[in-house]
Amino acid sequence: MISLLEGDIECTHPQKNTGPALVEKRFGKYTLTERLGGGGMAEVFKARLSGPEGFVKELALKLILPHFSSEPEFVKMFIHEATLVARLDHANIVRIHEFDQIDGRHYIAMELVIGRDLRAISARAREIDRPIDVTEALMIGLEACKGLAFAHGELTPGSPLIVHRDISPHNLIISQAGELKITDFGIAKMSSAASITKTGVIKGKVSYMSPEQARGDTLDGRSDLFSLGCVLWEMLSGQRLFSGENDLAVLARLQKCEILPASRFNSQVAPQVDEVLQKLLQRSPQSRFSTASELSSELDKLLVETSSIDRATILVQLYRDLFPGTGSQTDVFQTVQHVEKIEVIDEDQKIEPIGPDGRTEISKVSSDELPPALVEKKSKRKMIWLIVLSLSCITGFAVVVANGWLSKKPDADQQKAVIHDKPVAIEPLAPDNLKLEILPAQAEPETRHPEEEKVVFGRLDL
């Protein structure tokens, strides 16, 4: 599922589209391969960028609807926002690769995230009765804070403050690899500034506005924190925080800002979590956390106090529990509990990265998957080893035969010879006198001395 929500653009699951399939078509240097969704401001396509030597990169291409090009104020603000957002190069923010226009139509080329938005994740959790637990909700909040801290200029001195203005489940995406991505910076501001008479442009987003945003006041980063607090409260309680028959009723409740503890609806929520949420959802910005970094520190402490699970696998496991069997490598995120032995990694093994936790799985690769050069290299290496092994066997056999032959050869200085049935003794030959002298053999005594015999038997007795 490719989830990209840009402003009022809703990108649905490609398999659920019932309309005619998109025929690939060129758009400048891009090839549009699939329509992901659209709305009142723009439409989003899955696109392919091809280059030399077989280079191919897939990305999301957002095309502004043609009639907005005739509104100079909107175009000016769109260009300004796109220029600012392009600087947001952070792991928790959907990256902008390019902004330009082709044939008078403005577009943004951005990172293609394979995953689901938080709205779809929450709906799936309710569908299969697998609620998002406290640890998972805190982890989502922590990762979102990291992205907001970067956007608010807290991490890089001198960077401009970019307020999102539309933090909601629609614009928080969790990828298959367990990464949380914030998308859609600045769209809400452009929607309100453009001369649009269509009603309901921000319908469904009022529930996540801060009170000052609903009043039209000047905003800073604390407005985004309030919106994030709404998202966290709803995940933990399973309820809508601000609801009503229509947007006006929602805005009325929002101005009162009466917040019940999330633990009232979920007994797993600890008191310290309630305290953080209560501070985060204060009506006055001055009473909230002052920065996203401050909120991030508090959420980090809560995670330490409430869970000992490896953080790197929390969102990965959540995604896999809700959408089992997704992705081409369904087992790459398994946690290795014990290592029985360490094996040398051969060239016919592959190491698959496991997303953000850096865990690794080593699996055997068939020879069909290896490059031809590597297959040829492995074949030559095996042949060399076979030759070496064969030579070793031949050499060993030759040594064994030689030792056996030498062991049967008589010792020259101890051998005796019998000539004409008479025993003779052969004396060693001196180098200067090569002469063979045959001496008569002395007869051995037939009887032994009694004492000698006694000693011999004494030795035997011992």
Structure tokens at 143: 């990762």
Chain centroid to CA 366: how far? 23
Tell me which of 8, 117, 133, 166 is the catalytic residue.
Answer: 166
Structure tokens at 34: 């699939």
Residues 43 and 86: their CA atoms lie apart, in Å, by 19
Length of the chain in terms of residues written: 462
Residues 160 and 95: their CA atoms lie apart, in Å, by 17
Are the C-beta atoms of 9 and 43 separated by less than 8 Å? yes
Residues 243 and 265: their CA atoms lie apart, in Å, by 16
**Those residues with Cβ within 8 angstroms of residue 462's Cβ, 6 or more apart along the chain or in another chain:** none
Q: Quick check: is 166 catalytic?
A: yes
Are the C-beta atoms of 235 and 132 separated by less than 8 Å? yes
Residues 217 and 286: their CA atoms lie apart, in Å, by 14
Structure tokens at 388: 């070496």
Measured CA to CA in angstroms, residue 101 lies from 61, 111, 143 at distances of 12, 18, 33
- Strands 416-419 and 359-364, sheet pairing: unpaired
- Strands 56-64 and 42-50, sheet pairing: antiparallel
Are the C-beta atoms of 167 and 224 separated by less than 8 Å? yes
Residues acting as catalytic residues: 166
